[in-house]
Amino acid sequence: MRSYTSTSERRPWMASAIWGWRLELSLAFATVMVLAVADAVSPVGPFVVVTGALVALWRRPDLRKRLEATARDNREIRWLQYALWHCAVVGRDGSIPKVERSARLPVGRRYLICLPIGLHCEALQDRSNELAAALSAREVRVKAIAQNARYVEVAVIYANAFPALIPSPLLHRPSLSLWESLAFGTGQDGLGVTIHLPEHNLLIGGEPGSGKSVALSSLVAAAALDPSVTLTLLDGKQVELAPWSPLAERFVGADQGEAVGALEDLRELMDRRYAALAASRKRKLTPHDLDGLHVVVIDELSFYLRGGKKEAREQFAELLRDLVSRGRAAGVIVVASTQKPSHEVVPTWIRDLFSFRLAFRCTSPDASDTILGQGWASQGYSAATIDPGMRGVGYLLAEGGLPVLIKTPYLSDGEIDQLAHRALRLRGAR
Ligand SMILES: Nc1ncnc2c1ncn2[C@@H]1O[C@H](COP(=O)(O)OP(=O)(O)OP(=O)(O)O)[C@@H](O)[C@H]1O
Ligand SMILES: [Mg+2]
């Protein structure tokens, strides 16, 4: 096997290095040429050219900023190339991966990289810690591109994407449509993470104080800001969802019998909607239908599934299963939270029906797996690894098929009141 330091293997690397300096080299070359021509024209020519260039840069801050940004981008690309070279991340011919495109992230930079023959995504993933150290970064993340194994996405993260509090984007929204993708949190790359709730149900789990009710508040706020959405709220603790009760068609506190009644009414609603859909030869509710989405939020499932009388518990469990399994096409969305979604608290036959899952900090990899699904912890997606101090941080398994670490926005009591008032005005104005 050839060593990457041989002269023949240096050539592709040198070409990349020179290419990385193209802006600076072309500017230097153009400057020398212009100065030489100006000097030939008049002895004061170079002075006039330099003064003119300085005045142009002073008068055109946009141009100056663009030049600075391009120089900074090129410099960061060069750093990555140096790191790849120094860490010997090279293909069979000694060439380093080629940066095809790059873009700024709120907490670093991401690159679309074309791999030379001999390298593959896992090989780069194995070296990510080494690359992070070479780049003095917090972390380097390498993601495969599903359409083409030759390309990978590399994110170099320099700053913490999870500040103590992330303000809710809903605070700036006068109204919204729940049929559209909903901003649900911030990912590790500092970019927003969205979910598309129609035709999905969401199960949220995590240890006490991990951030479940805060996440539920954000979802209720979003649903409330869509005047076409009807809300049913079930809150075993009463205080978490209480500020939203004036907006709900039905608010149930710590009363199991009433909770069963609410789910029975929802089943009737679902049956009516299916009958209407069948009559109009449609298979599912769409944004153009008169009936809007119906969002059912349950904070602390265990209160209704574990407490009270056995008969009421079983009735509640059966109604919930029916709602989660048949609600999709009828526009009924169930969002539920639980401190411990083990089979003793939430029967597996209900839990497995939730297509979206969010696992906040858990005490063990097993507990994390009971929320996300069997096997994720052993693949490196364990909510037990989340620092207990990082409240509101969890693994979201939704679109994309792989769990992603996110932090949800925080809504203070005052902000919840503000949003609830806005939603009330909006609904009153309908
Ligand atoms: N996204 C977040 N950003 C910042 N702080 C958060 C966030 N989520 C939760 N917290 C903090 O954690 C505290 C507990 O959150 P929350 O009430 O949502 O926990 P929980 O999981 O519902 O707990 P329990 O199981 O006891 O009901 C909040 O009062 C807040 O201080
Ligand atoms: Mg709670």
pLDDT digits (tens, 9 = 90+) for 126-148: 999 999 999 999 999 999 998 99
In short, whether 391's Cβ falls inside 6 Å of ligand 1 is: yes
For 129, the token pair is: 């810690």
Q: Given ligand 1 and candidates 168, 170, 210, which is best to mutate, with the most ligand atoms within 8 Å of its CB?
A: 210
Task: Write the DSSP assignment of 334-380 as a string of letters.
Answer: EEEEES--STTTS-HHHHTT-SEEEEE--SSHHHHHHHH-TTTGGGT
Q: How far is CA 38 from the centre of its chain?
A: 55
* Cα–Cα distance for residue pair 407/309, rounded to 1 Å: 37
Residues, CB-to-ion distance under 5 Å, ligand 2 = 212-213
Q: Which pLDDT score, from 0 to 100, does residue 8 have?
A: 40
For 256, the token pair is: 């199991």
In this structure, whether the domain defined by 169-428 belongs to CATH 3.40.50.300 is answered with yes
Q: Which pLDDT score, from 0 to 100, does residue 158 have?
A: 94
Q: Which pLDDT score, from 0 to 100, does residue 260 have?
A: 95
Q: Which pLDDT score, from 0 to 100, does residue 324 have?
A: 93
In short, whether 340's Cβ falls inside 6 Å of ligand 1 is: no
* Cα–Cα distance for residue pair 88/3, rounded to 1 Å: 10
Rounded to the nearest whole angstrom, what is the distance from the C-alpha of residue 260 to the centroid of ligand 2? 21
Q: Which pLDDT score, from 0 to 100, does residue 226 have?
A: 95
Q: Which pLDDT score, from 0 to 100, does residue 12 have?
A: 55
In short, whether 392's Cβ falls inside 6 Å of ligand 1 is: yes
Length of the chain: 430
* Cα–Cα distance for residue pair 185/166, rounded to 1 Å: 8
- Sheet strand arrangement including 139-144: 98-105, 108-114, 151-157, 139-144
Give whole-number Cα distances, 183 to 162, 320, 384, in Å: 15, 26, 25
* Cα–Cα distance for residue pair 179/182, rounded to 1 Å: 8
Which H or E run includes 66? helix 61-86
> 95's torsion region: left (phi>0), alpha (psi -120 to 50) or beta?
beta
Q: Which pLDDT score, from 0 to 100, does residue 9 have?
A: 45
Angle at 81 between CA 76 and CA 86, to 5 degrees: 125
Rounded to the nearest whole angstrom, what is the distance from the C-alpha of residue 79 to the centroid of ligand 2? 45
**129 SS3 class:** helix
* Cα–Cα distance for residue pair 112/65, rounded to 1 Å: 24
Closest-CA residue, ligand 1 atom 25, reads: 208
Rounded to the nearest whole angstrom, what is the distance from the C-alpha of residue 224 to the centroid of ligand 2? 19
144-147 contacts at long range (C-beta below 8 A, 24 or more positions apart): 145/112
Ligand nearest to the CA of 409: 1
Where does the chain hold its CATH 3.40.50.300 domain(s)? 169-428
List the chain residues with pLDDT less than 70: 1-17, 20, 341, 429-430
* Cα–Cα distance for residue pair 414/386, rounded to 1 Å: 28
Residue 92 one-letter amino acid: R
Q: Given ligand 1 and candidates 391, 405, 412, which is best to mutate, with the most ligand atoms within 8 Å of its CB?
A: 391
Q: Which 8-state DSSP code applies to residue 210? A: S
* Cα–Cα distance for residue pair 144/151, rounded to 1 Å: 7
- Sheet strand arrangement including 294-299: 192-195, 182-187, 404-407, 393-397, 356-360, 202-205, 332-338, 294-299, 230-235, 250-252
* Cα–Cα distance for residue pair 98/81, rounded to 1 Å: 8
In short, whether 278's Cβ falls inside 6 Å of ligand 1 is: no
Strands (E), 48-148: 98-105, 108-114, 139-144
Rounded to the nearest whole angstrom, what is the distance from the C-alpha of residue 391 to the centroid of ligand 2? 12
Q: What is the CA radius of gyration of the chain?
A: 28
For 401, the token pair is: 């098929």
Closest-CA residue, ligand 1 atom 1, reads: 392
* Cα–Cα distance for residue pair 72/93, rounded to 1 Å: 29
